[in-house]
Structure 1
Amino acid sequence: MESIDISVLRELRDWRAAGRHALLATVVRTWGSSPRPPGSMMALREDGRIAGSVSGGCIEDDLAARYSRIDGGPGMNGGAPGLVRYGVSADEAHRFGLPCGGTLELLLEFDPDAAQLEQLMHMLDGGALVRRSLCVADGAVALEKAEAPAEVAFDGARLTVTLGPAYRMLLIGAGALSQYLATMALFSGFDVTLCDPRREYLDAWAVPGVKSTTEMPDDAVVAFRPDRRSCIVALTHDPKLDDLALLEALHSPAFYIGAIGSRRNSASRRDRLAAHFGESRESLARLHGPVGIYIGSKTPPEIAVSVMAEILAAKNGVAECGSPVAAAKDRRESLAA
């Protein structure tokens, strides 16, 4: 399952290729609390059909009333991009269902060029990270490959959004926990690959949409070619398999590396990787273990929730350290020591 914003662009590409009028709305600035972050996108077709979201629904309805032909609306007449702002006053925030004090600003592009949208999707489908820059004055768009993900940039004159292929997850081990975690990763927009050289485990796999390999875990990590949009999670409980994956993963650019195990087993793993394989304090600091944030989970689906939450926190740049959840985790580990 691809990311929401890529799905929006794909839908918009199809509409424009079919000759339909449509606009692309991008959140460019927010103040206070807002439903969606900068860079979030929605597309609106002339007949009122909507793809994506920039709020909880009220703003989408207002944009449809303003720019589509439903209910006798004016439709879209093209023209240069324009800015619209919602939630300036308390009354307006309440009307559009925005959180108290929330304001967001949207940049609207009318009838984006179909050929350029096709080029963008071709680049994204080919696995490229793409920087899309829009000149507000005339609507000119530039596409170029990017070396690394970047935050949305808007200075009033130019909007720059970096778009990329789906975030990727490599799971080591085809157990029950992996099936729940893979399911959550798929609906969170991750592309998931499963590695397990144990054929009897892989034969029992029941989650569609997941690539699989029977390579040894270290070879699977190398073939996966982790980048800064990748995470790797070792879940076999077997050091002969998990350690192989971790030894490769710890020296990759992956944004998250985790391994299942108790606090005691995690400490033993770190000692083992340092003593027998020469891993440094710096490389081992990248390893999340025990994996997941503490939510008192006991069952595979609950543990998967905690692991997915930690992965998303790392993806979104949220530091767990110092949070109430981290404090609870520390208390649990202190009691278990």
Structure 2
Amino acid sequence: MIWKNSARHAAVQGVMAASATLSASYYASQAPTIAVSIIGWTVNPVAVGLGATAFALDLLKPEMLRLAGTSGAGAARRIAAGAVFGVLFIASMVAVDGMLMKLRSEWSGARLSTMGEYDRAEAEYKSAEAELAKLKAVRSIADVKASMDAAPVPRNVFRRTDQCTDVTRDDSFAACKPILDLRQEMAQAIRKRELEGKRDAAKAKLDATQRPVAADPQAAALAKASGLDESIISYLLVAIIGFAVELVACIGLWLLTDKPRGQEEEDEAPATIPVTAERRALDWVLGEMAKSGGKLAIMNTAIAKRFDVDPGTVTRWRQRWIEDGKITEERLGRYIILGVAS
């Protein structure tokens, strides 16, 4: 279970770091714009100072709360610690909510921008289609130009009226009327081509864009269900997350490390472990080796006689001690040389 406790503590510490980072980012962003160049780096010393101070103060919240709840700390210190905690909690909550609102606003703002672009393209498409429906019978520019080139206008009238652009006499107007009518159709043909271009561009944008249902679908759904304003719902969603972050950052470690009633006494009570003959023999051998400078020359039968066991039992003990890395062993005639394992 040790790894689980360690993971839980790490998770709480991660939330504490996140709270401190959000707080530092928020207050650093409130700093006035001051640029100072240091070894080629441009920094804002006020922003750095505010951010570092906010980060450090945010990490002190749990300590102030712990001190406020310590019965032996004295009434004055506990009251002062509680007041400091309250101020730090509010300051951190404002910062965390502010940064989360900024992030949520940027996310919903991008969706709102997409919605606006889609709606404008849709309006342009519908407007162009409606106007094109009125110009449906208008011929193309090329066809109208061909008709203008073949218009039956006398050459002398065409020349005298500067290509039927300066008509002052009734007879000239009558002679130029075919081309004047075609010029009106040409204007409509030009407008038709412009509208077709706008319609096609709007259609391409609509095909390439998927309109979001809402800028903030979650807030919109909850606002519709509750009858509250969508902006209030958006803030409440952020406030819930911000409060959770602050709650875990402030009391998370205390909740994980606090022991149930009576657990302290159980932990402090020494465990009763039976001392076996093998354990007594090992302790004696290690003690004798320490007295003789780390080496002990002894016979197997001497250990067996001292602890009232047979030599075969002592042999098994020694093998286990060697395997467990407790001792080393060498042979010297009938004696065994026992040493402390390095």
Query: TM-score under structure 2 normalisation?
Result: 0.18
Question: If each structure's strand is expressed as a fraction of its own residues, which one has the higher value?
Answer: 1
Greater RCO structure (CA 8 Å; 6+ sep): 2
Question: If each structure's helix is expressed as a fraction of its own residues, which one has the higher value?
Answer: 2
